Structure 1
Amino acid sequence: MRCRSTLLCAVLGALALAHAPAHADRRHGDHRRGGDPWRFDPRYSHNHYYPSVGYVAYGLPGGSLSIAFGTGHLFFNSGVWFRPYADRYVVIAPPVGVLVPVLPPDCVTVWVGNTMYYYLNGAYYLPAPGRGFAVVAPPPSVETAQANVPAPIKPPPTPVIYPRNGQSPAQTEGDRQECNRWAATQQAALLDADVFQRAVAACMDGRGYTVR
């Protein structure tokens, strides 16, 4: 079962976290980098590339979500977690307990006993009703878990944002991220991707943008 269930997981089309169909050559978090930090994740036939833990990025990919955790913030984008590192960002393994409002559509559902987990880039998630999804410790007997691997599906198109008031690209990106964060606070948006996208569009419209 693809991680697109209306009741369990919302597609992050409005966040531009999935710009192309999921396939073995997909590389998440295409930010500036030195050398080749990519790691291939074949587990459960997930077959995606991700930047390795410890890689330091000069900036965050567009559409990254700011996630409050402890006394600070982490950042999430397409299954990749970052924490601030001086004036840069380092890729980390997500801490157990951190919450993310929505998961991208290319996560894999994994059954361990009678419990269905969501797997993405080495991390396991369980639904946290009303709050999104929580990172949990790898379940016991995970080596014998049964994965339900989706066939590639073309994600919804990335919305086009037009600045009606001549806003600069930097301001547009800042406003978009603010609207993403606001939309993620709406409970209905956590359960339905269409609601999430409409919330972002309404927020951007109020800031002087047309979203198509």
Structure 2
Amino acid sequence: MMLNFKPLKPAALLAATMLMCVAGPSAQAQERHGGHGGYVGPQRGGGSHASPHWQLDRRYQHNHYYPSRGYVSIGLPPGAISIGHGRGSYFFHSGVWFSPVGSRYRVVAPPFGIVVPVLPPAYTPLWIDSTRYYYANGSYYTAATDGGYTVVPPPPGAEQARPLPPLPEAKPAPDPIIYPRSGQNAQQTESDRQECNRWATTQPAAQVDASVFQRAVAACMDGRGYTVR
């Protein structure tokens, strides 16, 4: 699935919009310099490979590219999670947050207080005033009381913080295999998976326990005629 990120204005920049190639998400969070979450962006280091539609996040040596906030996608990445907050809903994928704009999705900053079941695949751990924070794409996360991770405002002293040494990387859990028992095509399979992702977030503890979320998605897909292993 190819996503065209483009600004709402001006029209002259539309032809230069970067394409994003998105792969399935991994529930296994990694320390800094981990995977890029499936996005294919400019090469690291900037220069002639950089694009105004992508931004290199250098803070805390994070060194990852993300689509610029304010750009609009014609669709969501496969596996994006729908998360309700306040009177609206947001979509989360690999550290990038989306907000619906008509039939499209704008890249936005997440609201403070929203909770996700897992961290982005790539993040930078920080230790600020005796509290462990996780940084990715301009946002700070802390462990939520009941599980999961909460988006919080930049803490005092964040500008002077230094990244923690990386922990030994655990072997990522393999992505589940989804088999369409009823012969569903790829487009229908992806549509069903996104709907199951949205339904899974409504289940008790799903937004604060990744295993609950994953089991809910598997149960939903099974009910729609898929085998998940």
Give the alignment's TM-score, normalised by structure 2. 0.71
Separation in 2, partners of 1:58, 1:149: 38
Deviation at 1:194?
A: 4.8
Q: How is 1:34-49 mapped onto 2 (pairs within 5 angstroms)? A: 37-49=53-65
Q: How is 1:102-121 mapped onto 2 (pairs within 5 angstroms)? A: 102-121=118-137
Deviation at 1:24?
A: 7.9
Q: 2:221 aligns with which of 175, 199, 204?
A: 204
Residue aligning to 2:3: none
Residue aligning to 1:8: none
Q: Are the counterparts in 1 of residues 126 and 161 from structure 2 also a CA contact under 8 Å? A: yes
Q: How is 1:9-158 mapped onto 2 (pairs within 5 angstroms)? A: 16-18=24-26, 23=33, 26=36, 29=39, 37-130=53-146, 132-150=148-166, 155-158=172-175
Separation in 1, partners of 2:212, 2:37: 27
Q: Cα deviations across residues 135-181 of structure 1 (Å, max 9, x unaligned)?
A: 11100011222322536666333222111012233332232223333
Query: Greater CA radius of gyration, 1 or 2?
Result: 2
Residue aligning to 2:18: none
Q: Are the counterparts in 2 of residues 179 and 203 from structure 1 also a CA contact under 8 Å? A: yes
Q: Are the counterparts in 2 of residues 183 and 196 from structure 1 also a CA contact under 8 Å? A: yes
Deviation at 1:208?
A: 1.6
Number of aligned residue pairs? 194
- Percent identity between the two aligned chains: 54
Residue aligning to 1:171: 188
Q: Cα deviations across residues 46-79 of structure 1 (Å, max 9, x unaligned)?
A: 2211001111111111111111122221111101
Measured at CA, do residues 153 and 37 of structure 1 come closer, stay the same or move farther in structure 2, by a change above 3 Å? farther
AA in 1 matched with 2:24: A
Separation in 1, partners of 2:206, 2:34: 33
Unaligned runs of 5+ in 2: 1-22, 42-50
Give the alignment's TM-score, normalised by structure 1. 0.76
Q: Are the counterparts in 2 of residues 24 and 47 from structure 1 also a CA contact under 8 Å? A: no
Q: Cα deviations across residues 28-61 of structure 1 (Å, max 9, x unaligned)?
A: 5559xxx751111122222211001111111111
Provide the secondary structure at the position in 2 that maps to 1:187: coil
Question: Larger relative CO (CA 8 A, sep 6+): 1 or 2?
Answer: 1
| RMSD, matched Cα | 3.1
